[in-house]
Amino acid sequence: MKTIVLTNPPSSGKRRIIRNIDCAIESKGHYLIQPYDLMLLSGCFPPGCPMSLVDATADNLPAGRAIERISRARPDIIIQALSEVLWSNDLDYLRLLRARFPQALILVLGDALIEENCVAAAMQWADGIIASPLDLDVGAILQAQPGRLGQAGRIEGLRHERFYEDVSKKPRERTINLPRHKLFQKSGYRWPFSTRLRYTTVMTAWGCPYRCSYCTDARFPFVYRPWQGVLDELQTVKKMGISEVYFADKSFGLPRDNILNLLGEMVRRRMNFSWSTYFHPSQYEPEFLNLMARSGCHTIVIGVESANIESLRRFGRNVTAEQISGLVRHAHELGMNVCGDIILGLPDETEQDVRASIALAVALKLDFASFNIATPLPGSSIRRQAVAEGRMAEDEHHFDTLADGNIIGSNKLSALQLVALRKLAAREFYLRPGYLLRRLAKLRTFEQFVIQVHEAFEVLTKCLAPDTHAGRLKPL
């Protein structure tokens, strides 16, 4: 059987970069989540294939030491994650891998690879690009020879020239083997909403059924796993002594019947997991949220995005203020925590709009808020508009919603204004005595207290730190 190595590059400056196919971001706190695409891929290959994980970011390794670790495994196949945030850094790592392992089949994945100029650059050293992990034709990959993958014709799950034209959001079912959770039990991984330091990641589906054009997920299919396979995975996780789970679905709960069966069995079998997930407000139904809580859900992350609902509709985001407020209110009645994702500076939004979104986060009494600068993410309508208006070039990279890399202003607000507004948002939301008292009252475990203290320190350090963006700000 062929030996497989999964790898994440180092992150320069000890930054905590999270790399996945649909989204790569810099951690806004102390956390570094398990790379869920690599986790999912670990279950796509036959159990008999030897596999290891070398995460240079989680283990704080320089490139040379990471490659030495990979060398010890004598890999036949290497799967590397890349990112838009550290594109040049990650591309250099790929070049080093090819130089060191000329006989290995190298596959890459990452959000930057939505863009054609990045594909051309990566394919100088890679054999193929994974675009949909649950669709991956593993048999074809295991039979392929380095440098000859293109001769095999179109391979399911790999990017091809028409991949993004052919994307369907119609749900498709796929079955995989058990992901190899033991590989991902590294001390460097931490999920900010966990109640315990030790956790693991499970996915019931990959991709997103929605088409919000400011998001890279609009470009990918929606593929789900049958609930029986996910339940088997949870039983294996339980035997490992892990009771904290992050369901990393982009929008947990679909297909509805599939998830109803899963949650029903979790309750019936008294699995007693403590878990959290992303949840789309349009999916809110009181009975379903009740079932989530009964099965152990303690935190949901929802896209509040903006107080300007009309602005969101322009991007294909169809939610109502009533759906969001009703969901938050009910979640709090059930004792759940709610984190709201907020986007600052969508095209055509003014400073008044941004301040209204900050005020909404406070008014909703969210437990956490993640303030993200509207960014020209790969494949997004924001990127296309910025290029069309001449505010950035097609081959510009290193943009991130945290604003620690390149920053581009919107058509209404400068980059400097957006940076200042993001710091203002964090201060106005988190530095409230009433908020801090509520957070203390909702803590469940001492480990959760430790996690939240680390996160709070990192968030406040970043929002109070002086600006260091000179030379990286893009003008209007």
- Residues 27-71 have pLDDT tens digits of 988 999 999 999 999 999 999 999 999 999 999 999 999 999 999
Confidence of residue 21 (pLDDT cuts 50, 70, 90): very high
Confidence of residue 12 (pLDDT cuts 50, 70, 90): confident
Give the pLDDT of residue 153. Answer: 67
- Name the token pair of 314: 């322009």
* Mean of all residue pLDDT scores within the chain: 92
Query: Residues 7-21: what's their mean pLDDT?
Result: 91
CATH topology of domain 172-474: pyruvate-formate lyase- activating enzyme (3.80.30)
- Residues 416-439 have pLDDT tens digits of 999 999 999 999 999 999 998 988
Higher pLDDT, 236 or 22: 236
Give the pLDDT of residue 146. Answer: 82
- Residues 132-170 have pLDDT tens digits of 999 999 999 999 888 777 655 689 999 988 888 777 888
Sequence-distant (6+) residues with CB within 8 A of 32 are 16, 18, 57, 58, 188, 189, 190
- Residues 63-82 have pLDDT tens digits of 999 999 999 999 999 999 99
SS3 assignment, position 466: coil
DSSP one-letter string for 153-174: ---TTB--TTTTTS---S-EE-
Query: Residues 219-231: what's their mean pLDDT?
Result: 95
Query: What is the Cα–Cα distance from 261 to 39, expressed in whole angstroms?
Result: 23
Contact assessment for residue 65 and residue 157, using Cβ atoms and an 8 Å cutoff: no
Query: Residues 169-188: what's their mean pLDDT?
Result: 95
Contact assessment for residue 178 and residue 234, using Cβ atoms and an 8 Å cutoff: no
CB atoms within 10 A of CB 270: 6
- Name the token pair of 412: 């209404």
Assign domain 4-152 to its CATH superfamily: Response regulator (3.40.50.2300)
Using only C-alpha atoms, the chain has a radius of gyration, in whole angstroms, of 21
Indicate if the pLDDT at residue 462 is higher than 60: yes
Higher pLDDT, 473 or 89: 89
Kindly state the DSSP code that residue 130 receives in the 8-state scheme: B
Nearest residue to 129 (alpha-carbon basis) of 143, 145, 112: 112
Kindly state the DSSP code that residue 13 receives in the 8-state scheme: G
Contact assessment for residue 194 and residue 298, using Cβ atoms and an 8 Å cutoff: no
Contact assessment for residue 340 and residue 364, using Cβ atoms and an 8 Å cutoff: yes
Cα–Cα distance list, 364 to 62, 292, 327, 330, 374 (Å): 43, 21, 10, 12, 21
Topology agreement, domain 4-152 and domain 172-474:
no
Give the dihedral sign, CA 221/227/228/234. positive
* Omega prior to 255 cis, within 30 of 0: yes
Nearest residue to 337 (alpha-carbon basis) of 206, 473, 191: 191
- Residues 287-323 have pLDDT tens digits of 999 999 999 999 999 999 999 998 899 999 999 999 9
Contact assessment for residue 208 and residue 286, using Cβ atoms and an 8 Å cutoff: no
- Name the token pair of 262: 């899963």
Query: What is the Cα–Cα distance from 318 to 84, expressed in whole angstroms?
Result: 27
Query: Residues 198-214: what's their mean pLDDT?
Result: 94
* Whole-prediction pTM: 0.94
> Helix-strand-coil percent breakdown of the chain, rounded to 5?
40, 15, 45
Residue ranges per structural domain of the chain: 4-152, 172-474
Query: What is the Cα–Cα distance from 212 to 214, expressed in whole angstroms?
Result: 6
- Name the token pair of 176: 């995989």
Contact assessment for residue 374 and residue 347, using Cβ atoms and an 8 Å cutoff: yes
Nearest residue to 248 (alpha-carbon basis) of 320, 288, 210, 194: 194
Query: How many CA atoms within 13 Å lie on the side-chain side of 173?
Result: 9
Give the dihedral sign, CA 68/69/70/73. positive
Sequence-distant (6+) residues with CB within 8 A of 337 are 193, 276, 298, 299, 300, 331, 367, 368, 442
Give the pLDDT of residue 473. Answer: 47
Query: What is the Cα–Cα distance from 400 to 394, expressed in whole angstroms?
Result: 16
Give the pLDDT of residue 471. Answer: 40
Indicate if the pLDDT at residue 111 is higher than 60: yes
Indicate if the pLDDT at residue 247 is higher than 60: yes
